[in-house]
């Protein structure tokens, strides 16, 4: 059965449609106004920079590590087995402080042998000295006896010569006494030669025994020295930078093996790398600030190496002040090298659009509630500021992010920007 809608029902539907359309129109109009207003406000959003007086610095970045200027390598003087490790990398040690203790039973046996050899050499020297003394005394006594016999023979001959003149003794008896004197003199000469020869041989035998003792004592001294080297100590004070590879208790050590490295923190320098392009602007004596674990330390460029590797150039920096306690060899660091620096000049913070190619620049500077176009002459462009040679003074406020509508204007009322 077909139902025919009433007139009242149709009227209600038309009212609903009209009201809905009207509401949509108001919503659309409101949104359009809001969007237009938002768009207008976001376009005009200029900002200002203030001109002041200060430093303008151009610098290049570098990175690298701390390196020791003076280091001491600890070498094993003897072979052995590690018995104790007393110090570990990173610890500060004093000169002669114990680092490692080695063990070598063979050296103790060598010590016993060397001490026994010294005792034997001492006994041999004493025996040799006693024998030589006895032989020398015997020879000297024999010589003295012969000198007495010569004296007696001379007196006997003189007596017989007197008696011969008095015809008391025969000439033959006189001649016998004369012959006896000559024989005694010959024996004396022979004995003197024996004594002289003995004195020469005595010195040779004595020197041989003394040399034998000296060599035995030297060998003992060397063994004792080697035993002392079982206690590995620091040759200088500093930081124990590293121990030899895979060193632990029980490790076998050979003579000449590297055991540790000690560095002096006060003698560290910065070993840095910069790009080959930046290297053209870096020369010795330029100031450098080095960041060592968030502590800034000042220094200067000591030398720039002439060759490049992988498009990088190496340079050394010496420090002009004390390093922090956290400074260690091979520590990663960063640095900034001031290639150009001016102090107490008029400057402007660098903003977008300014490059090193700009020597002249037009800016809008605030003058009595108006931004007036002003030509500015620029100088050194640093990392954060650019030098102003003319056109601006300290305290001036410069407009940046100038709205496009005012790009060609000669001046801009401040109120327009604030109310826009």
Q: For the chain, first and last CA: distance in Å?
A: 68
Q: What is the number of helices (H) and of strands (E) in the chain?
A: 5, 20
Segments of the chain scoring below 50 in pLDDT: 1-45
The confidence score (pLDDT) of residue 353 equals: 76
- Return the structure tokens found at 186: 């010959």
Task: Count CB neighbours of 98 within 10 A.
Answer: 14
Measured CA to CA in angstroms, residue 408 lies from 187, 202, 250, 254, 403 at distances of 138, 118, 84, 83, 10
* Strand ranges (E), 86-234: 92-93, 98-103, 231-233
pTM here is 0.52
The confidence score (pLDDT) of residue 47 equals: 81
Task: Name, in order, each residue with C-beta under 8 angstroms of 184's C-beta and a sequence gap of 6 or more.
Answer: 146, 149, 150, 153
The confidence score (pLDDT) of residue 294 equals: 93
Alpha-carbon gap, residue 373 to 254, rounded angstroms: 81
- Return the structure tokens found at 158: 């003189």
Phi, psi of 66 (to 5 degrees): -80, 135
- Return the structure tokens found at 175: 């001649």
Phi, psi of 47 (to 5 degrees): -135, 170
Task: Count CB neighbours of 386 within 10 A.
Answer: 22
Task: Count CB neighbours of 327 within 10 A.
Answer: 20
- Return the structure tokens found at 18: 């009209």
DSSP string covering 160-171, please?
A: HHHHHHTTSS-H
Alpha-carbon gap, residue 263 to 268, rounded angstroms: 8
Q: pLDDT tens digits, residue range 11-64? A: 344 344 434 444 433 333 333 333 332 223 323 345 889 999 999 998 999 999
- Return the structure tokens found at 245: 């590879």
The confidence score (pLDDT) of residue 266 equals: 75
Question: Torsion angle of alpha carbons 301, 302, 307, 309, nearest 10°?
Answer: -60
The confidence score (pLDDT) of residue 163 equals: 64
Alpha-carbon gap, residue 135 to 126, rounded angstroms: 14
DSSP state of 320: S
């Amino acid at each position: 059965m077909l139902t025919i809608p009433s007139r009242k029902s149709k009227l209600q539907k038309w009212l609903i449609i009209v009201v809905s359309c009207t509401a949509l129109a108001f919503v659309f109009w409101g949104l359009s106004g809001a969007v237009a207003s938002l768009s207008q406000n976001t376009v005009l959003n200029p900002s200002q920079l203030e001109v002041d007086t200060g430093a303008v610095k151009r610098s290049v970045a570098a990175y690298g590590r701390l390196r020791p200027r003076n280091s001491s390598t600890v070498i094993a003087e003897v072979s052995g087995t590690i018995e104790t490790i007393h110090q570990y990398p990173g610890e500060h040690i004093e000169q002669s402080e114990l680092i490692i203790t080695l063990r070598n039973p063979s050296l103790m046996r060598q010590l016993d042998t060397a001490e026994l050899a010294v005792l034997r050499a001492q006994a041999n020297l004493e025996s040799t000295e006693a024998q030589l003394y006895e032989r020398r005394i015997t020879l000297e006594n024999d010589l003295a006896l012969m000198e007495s016999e010569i004296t007696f023979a001379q007196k006997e001959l003189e007596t017989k010569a007197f008696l011969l003149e008095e015809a008391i003794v025969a000439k033959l008896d006189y001649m016998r006494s004369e012959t006896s004197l000559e024989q005694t003199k010959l024996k004396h000469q022979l004995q003197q030669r024996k004594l002289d020869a003995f004195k020469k041989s005595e010195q040779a035998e004595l020197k041989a025994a003394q040399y034998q003792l000296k060599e035995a004592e030297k060998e003992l001294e060397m063994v004792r020295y080697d035993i002392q080297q079982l206690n590995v100590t620091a040759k200088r004070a500093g930081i124990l930078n590293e121990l030899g590879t895979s060193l632990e208790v029980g490790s076998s050590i050979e003579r000449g093996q590297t055991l540790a490295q000690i560095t002096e923190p006060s003698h560290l320098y910065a070993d840095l790398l910069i790009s080959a392009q930046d290297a053209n602007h870096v020369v010795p004596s330029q100031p450098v600030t080095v960041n060592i674990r968030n502590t800034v330390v000042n220094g200067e460029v000591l030398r720039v190496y002439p060759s490049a590797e992988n498009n990088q150039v190496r340079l050394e920096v010496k420090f002009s002040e004390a390093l922090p306690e956290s400074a260690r060899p091979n520590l990663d660091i960063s640095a900034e090298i001031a290639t150009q620096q001016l102090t107490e000049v008029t400057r402007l913070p660098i903003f977008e659009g300014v490059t090193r190619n700009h020597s002249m620049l037009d800016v809008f500077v605030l003058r009595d509630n108006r931004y007036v176009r002003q030509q500015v002459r620029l100088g050194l462009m640093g990392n954060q500021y650019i030098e102003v040679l003319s056109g601006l003074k300290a305290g001036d406020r410069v407009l940046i992010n100038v709205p496009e509508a005012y790009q060609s204007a000669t001046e801009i009322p401040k109120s327009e920007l604030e109310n826009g």
